[in-house]
Amino acid sequence: MSRIARKQQKNLIQVITIQRMWRLFELAKSEHAEHPDRSERYVQLIRSISMRNRMSIPREIKSRICKHCYAFLVPGKNAHYRLKEGYIVVSCQHCGKEMRYPYKKLK
């Protein structure tokens, strides 16, 4: 296989991987109300797909997954979102841990 064909194949695999992660994320969002355990399984699949293909999970998906217990976070159901001193603090009610994401204040 030539260098160009290998590069095209790698790009195709990356595109398919990202599509699968987004599809599983959408399924996790839609299924969480009725089957929370199923949405947890979808999060596990997202993580395994990203590790298998050595790709990072997109930021929008990563912010909705607990970094400690890998639970699917839904605001108001199993997560609290608070604004504190330039950070968005997300509290997981599964494990009780907090995650902090910085944001810029308006001047």
For 55-92, the pLDDT digits (tens) are 999 999 999 999 999 999 999 999 999 999 889 999 99
Contacts of 15 (CB under 8 A, 6+ apart): none
| SS3 at position 29 | helix
Tell me how far apart the alpha carbons of residues 52 and 37 are, in angstroms, rounded to a whole number. Answer: 23
Q: What confidence tens digit (pLDDT) does each residue in 33-56 have?
A: 999 999 999 999 999 999 999 999
Return the pLDDT at 2.
Answer: 78
What is the band of 106 on the pLDDT scale with cuts at 50, 70, 90? low
Q: Which helix (H) or strand (E) holds 42?
A: helix 36-52
Q: What one-letter code names the amino acid at 97?
A: K
Q: Which pTM value belongs to this model?
A: 0.87
Strands 98-102 and 87-92 come out as antiparallel
